[in-house]
Amino acid sequence: MLNEITLLHPARRTDSLGFSDIVKIRNRVFAMKQSGMSILQLEGGEPFAPTPDFVKEAMKRALDENQTRYAASSGIAPLLEAIRAKLAERNGLNITTEQVIVTAGGMHALFCAFQATVNEGDEVLLFSPYWTPIRDLVAYAGGKPTLVPWEEVRNGSLTEALESRLTGRTRIIYVNSPANPTGDVLTRSQLEEIARFATTNNLVVISDEAYEDVVYDDPHISIASLPEMFSRTISVFTLSKSYSMTGWRIGYIAADDRWMEVLRKLVLNSVNGVSTPTQYATVAAISDRSTHLAKMRDEYRLRRDLLCKGVSDAGFGCVPPRGAFYLFADVRSRLGSDSWKAMNELLEKTGIATVPGVVFGPHGEGHLRMSYSNPIETIEAAIAAFKKL
Ligand SMILES: Cc1ncc(COP(=O)(O)O)c(C=O)c1O
Name which residue sits closest to atom 7 of ligand 1, judged by CA. Answer: 106
Name which residue sits closest to atom 15 of ligand 1, judged by CA. Answer: 210
Weakest-pLDDT range from 1-15, 109-123, 189-203 = 1-15
> How much distance in Å is there from the Cα of 238 to the middle of ligand 1?
7
Query: Which residues neighbour 176 within 8 Å (Cβ) at sequence distance 6 or greater?
Result: 127, 130, 131, 134, 207, 208, 210
The strand pairing partners of 238, in sequence order, are 251
46, 107, 126, 234: residue to mutate for ligand 1 pocket, most atoms within 8 A of CB: 107
Q: Which atom of ligand 1 is nearest to the CA of 131?
A: 1
Whether the per-residue pLDDT at 5 is higher than 70: the answer is no
Q: Which atom of ligand 1 is nearest to the CA of 176?
A: 1
What is the per-residue pLDDT across 19-62, written as a single tens digit (0 to 9) for each?
778 788 888 888 999 999 999 999 998 999 999 999 999 999 99
Instruction: Tell me if the bond preceding 178 is cis, omega within 30° of 0.
Output: yes
> How much distance in Å is there from the Cα of 332 to the middle of ligand 1?
28
Pocket of ligand 1 contains residue 105 by CB under 6 Å: yes
For residues 13 and 66, give the distance between their C-alpha atoms in angstroms, rounded to a whole number: 40
What is the per-residue pLDDT across 64-84, written as a single tens digit (0 to 9) for each?
999 999 999 999 999 999 999
Average pLDDT over residues 276-302: 97
The H or E element that residue 371 is part of is: strand 367-371
The strand pairing partners of 236, in sequence order, are 208, 253
One DSSP character per residue, 268-295 reads: HHHTSS--HHHHHHHHHHHT--SSHHHH
Write down the pLDDT at residue 20: 76
Q: Which atom of ligand 1 is nearest to the CA of 180?
A: 1
Whether the per-residue pLDDT at 171 is higher than 80: the answer is yes
Average pLDDT over residues 274-282: 98
Give the percent of the chain with pLDDT over 70.
98
Angle of the 53-64 helix axis to the 276-286 helix axis, nearest 10: 140
Write down the pLDDT at residue 3: 58
Write down the pLDDT at residue 17: 86
What is the per-residue pLDDT across 82-94, written as a single tens digit (0 to 9) for each?
999 999 999 999 9
The H or E element that residue 103 is part of is: strand 100-103
For residues 331 and 316, give the distance between their C-alpha atoms in angstroms, rounded to a whole number: 5
Q: What share of the chain is helix, strand, coil (3-state, %, to 5)?
A: 50, 15, 35
Write down the pLDDT at residue 40: 96
Name which residue sits closest to atom 16 of ligand 1, judged by CA. Answer: 180
Pocket of ligand 1 contains residue 46 by CB under 6 Å: no
Question: What counts of helices (H) and strands (E) characterise the chain?
Answer: 15, 12
Residue length of the chain: 389
Q: Do residues 238 and 281 make contact, with C-beta atoms less than 8 angstroms apart?
A: no
